[in-house]
Structure 1
Amino acid sequence: MIIKTRTKPLPLTKLESAIPRLSPQFPALSAMKEDLKKRWKGYSGELQVDYHLGNLATSCTILQDVYLRVNGKNVQIDTTANAGRSIHLIDAKNYSGTITFDTDLKQLTRSDGKIEAGFEYPLTQLENQKFLLSNWLQQHNLSNIPIYYYVAIADPSTIIKVEGDRNKIAKFVAHGAAIPKMIMDKERELARAGQPKLAQYQIGKMILQECGTFDKDIMKQYGVTRKDILPGVICPDCGLRGIERKHSGWWCSKCKQKYYNAHLKALADYFLLVNDFITNTECMRFLQLTSRNTATRILKASGLVYIEKHRHWVWRRL
C-alpha cells in the first residue's frame, strides 16, 4: 500500500513560478533555468522509479518523499518500503550516459562521451540516511529493525560501470526495474533466517505522522526580492505575461483566445513567491486590474478566505 505519494517538490514549483516573472536581464536567471532543468530531471527520475516500485504496493507499505527531523538534522529519503521483515530505502538517480562507481575512492562519475563530471557518492548518502532513520526508530521504541538501501538508476539506457568491488555495487545498485526483485529476494532471505515480522503499516503511519515537506529558500539563494517578481496574469498557452481582463475572462492578444481561470495560477504564484496573504489592493496590482470590485469578485470565487480582522485574504489550500 502506498500511504504517502510523491508531489512536485516545492523548490521546483517555486523556480517554475519565478522564472517567467523575472526580467530577462535578471543576473541569476540563467543559473535558475539550469537549476530548474536539473530538478526536473531528478523529479522525472523519481517518478520513473516510482512506477517500478508500484509493483511492491501489495506486499509493502510505501512512503514516497520522506522528510524527517532527527537529532537536529533533516533527512530526506526518496522512498521507504516497509516490507514484512525489514525497511528498504530507495534513492532514485537519473543519470544519462555512463556512470562509474569507484568503491575505493567512494566516488561517482558520469560521462556523456564529451564531459566527465563527479557527483556525491550515493552509497555514503544512503548510509547516512540509514543511520538517521535507525536513530529515529529507536527514539520511537522500535529497535533492531533491519534497514537496507538501494540506488535505483531511472534511465534503463544508462550504462553502469564499477572500478573496484563489483559485487558490492551489485548488491546496492541497479536499474529501477530490478529493484523490486532485489527487495523481495532480501525478504525471502530474512524469512529463511527467522527474522520476525514487522508491523509494517503501523511503522509507516508513525513515519507519516512526523513527515515534513522539503523546501528551500530559492529566493534567497538567487537573490530574488519581492520587487523582482513581475505582476500580470500569464497566458497558459504561449506564456505571455500581462494578458488583459475582458468580460469575465482573460484575453491573450497573441493567441487570440480567452481563458476564464488564468488568474488562479497568478494567485498561486503570488502566495508562493510574494506573501502568504493578499489584500484587494495587492490583487489589483498583481493581476493588473482597474476595478476593486472585480478584484473582490475574483478573490471570492478563487476559494480564498477573507480574514476580517486583518482585512486580507488567505489561500488555505496552500
Structure 2
Amino acid sequence: MRIKFRIIPLPLQKYDAVIPRMPPQFPKLPELKENAKKLSSGYSGELKVDYHLGMLVNSYTILDDVYLHIHGSNFQIDSLVVTNHAIFIVEAKNYKGTITFDTVLKQLIRSDGKIESGFEYPITQVENQTYHLRNWLQHHNLSHIPIFYVVAIADPETVIKVDGNREEIGKVVAHAARIPKMIRDKDDAFAQAGKPKIEDYKIGKLILRECRDFDINVMRHHEITREDLLPGVICSGCGMRGMKRIHGGWLCKKCRQKSHNAHRNDLANYLLLYGSITNKECMWLLGLTSRSTATRILQKSGLVYVKECKCWTKRRK
C-alpha cells in the first residue's frame, strides 16, 4: 500500500509562482529558471520511478518523498519501500545521455555526446541517507530492521557505464523498471532464510507520522523583495499579466479570455510565498482601485482575517 503520495515539491511551486512576476531584466532570473528546471527534471524522474514502484503496492508499504529529522539534522529520501523483512531506500535519478559511475574516484560523469559534466556520486548520497535512517530507527527502537538502498535511473534510454567495479554498481543501480524485482528478490531471499518478518504497515505509519515537508524560502534564498515583483492578474490562456477587472470577473486584454476566478491562482501563489496578504497588498497584486472590492474578493476566497496582523491567511486544517 502506498501511504504517502508525492506532490509537486514546495520549492518548485514557489519558483513557478515567482518567475512569472519577475522583470525580464532581473539579474537573478536566469538562476531562478535554472533552479526550477532542475527541480522539475528531478520531480519528473521521481514520478517515472513511482510508476514502476506501483508494482509493489499490493505486497509492501511505500512512502514517497520522506523528510525526517534526527539529532539536529534533516534528511530526505525519494521513496521508502518497507517490505516484510527490510526497508529499501530508493533514490531516483533523471539523467539523459550516458552516465558513468567511477567507483575509484567516487564520482558520476554524464555525457550528452558533446559535453561531460560531473555530478554528486549517487552511492555516497544513499549511503548518507542510510546512515541517517539507521539513526532514526535506532531512536525509535527499531534498530533490528535491515536497510538496503537502490539507485533507480528513471529514463530507460539512459546508458549506464561503470569505470571500475561493475559488480558493485550492478547490485544497487538499475533502470527503474528493474527496481521492483530487485527489491522483491531480496525480500524473498530473507523469507527463504527464515528471517523474522516485520510489521511493514505499522512501521510505515510511524514514519508517516514523523514526516515533515521539505521547503525553502525562495524569496530569502535569492534575496528577492516584494518590490521586485510585478503586479497584475495572470491570464491562464495566454500567460499575459494584467487582466482587467470587469463586472463579475476578469478580461484579458491580449487574448480576450474572460474568467470569473482568474485571481484565485494569483492569491494562492502569493500566500505560498508569504503566508498571508493584507487588503493593500491584494489591491496591488490584482491591480484593484477599490478597497471594498479587494475585501470582497478575499472573503470569497475562503481566507480568514487575522486581527492581530490585519491580514488574511488560509484556514487551518
TM-score, reference length from structure 1 = 0.97
- Equivalent in the alignment of 2:87: 87
- Equivalent in the alignment of 2:315: 316
CA contact (8 A) 2:91 2:126 kept: yes
- Equivalent in the alignment of 1:283: 282
Task: Give the Cα separation in 2 of the matches to 1:29 and 1:310.
Answer: 31
- Equivalent in the alignment of 1:154: 154
Task: Give the Cα separation in 1 of the matches to 2:160 and 2:103.
Answer: 13
- Equivalent in the alignment of 2:299: 300
Q: How far apart are 1:317 and its partner, in Å?
A: 6.4
Matched, 1:40 2:25: no
Task: Give the Cα separation in 1 of the matches to 2:29 and 2:205.
Answer: 41
Q: How far apart are 1:272 and its partner, in Å?
A: 2.0
Q: How far apart are 1:308 and its partner, in Å?
A: 3.8
Matched, 1:241 2:272: no
Q: Which runs of 5+ in 2 are unaligned?
A: none
What is the aligned length?
317
- Equivalent in the alignment of 1:163: 163
Task: Give the Cα separation in 1 of the matches to 2:181 and 2:15.
Answer: 36
**Correspondences of 1:1-318 after superposition (within 5 Å):** 1-273=1-273, 275-316=274-315
Task: Give the Cα separation in 2 of the matches to 1:75 and 1:97.
Answer: 29
* Paired residue type of 1:80: L
* Paired residue type of 1:265: N
Deviations 1:133-169 (A, max 9, x none): 0110110111221111000000000000011111111
Task: Give the Cα separation in 1 of the matches to 2:26 and 2:302.
Answer: 33
Identity %: 60
Q: How far apart are 1:311 and its partner, in Å?
A: 3.2
Task: Give the Cα separation in 2 of the matches to 1:317 and 1:259.
Answer: 28
CA contact (8 A) 2:22 2:230 kept: yes
* Paired residue type of 1:244: K
* Paired residue type of 1:41: S
Q: Which moved more, 1:124-133 or 1:275-284?
A: 275-284
Deviations 1:231-268 (A, max 9, x none): 11101121111111111111001111101221111101
Task: Give the Cα separation in 2 of the matches to 1:317 and 1:26.
Answer: 35
CA contact (8 A) 2:237 2:257 kept: no
Q: How far apart are 1:309 and its partner, in Å?
A: 4.5
TM-score, reference length from structure 2 = 0.97
Task: Give the Cα separation in 2 of the matches to 1:231 and 1:272.
Answer: 16
Q: How far apart are 1:294 and its partner, in Å?
A: 1.5
Task: Give the Cα separation in 2 of the matches to 1:17 and 1:310.
Answer: 24
Task: Give the Cα separation in 1 of the matches to 2:315 and 2:264.
Answer: 14
Q: How far apart are 1:14 and its partner, in Å?
A: 0.8
Q: How far apart are 1:281 and its partner, in Å?
A: 2.1
* Paired residue type of 1:2: R
* Paired residue type of 2:58: T
CA RMSD, Structure 1 to Structure 2 (Å): 1.3
* Paired residue type of 2:130: K
Task: Give the Cα separation in 2 of the matches to 1:310 and 1:215.
Answer: 24
Deviations 1:51-110 (A, max 9, x none): 010111011111100001111111100000001100000000000000000111111100
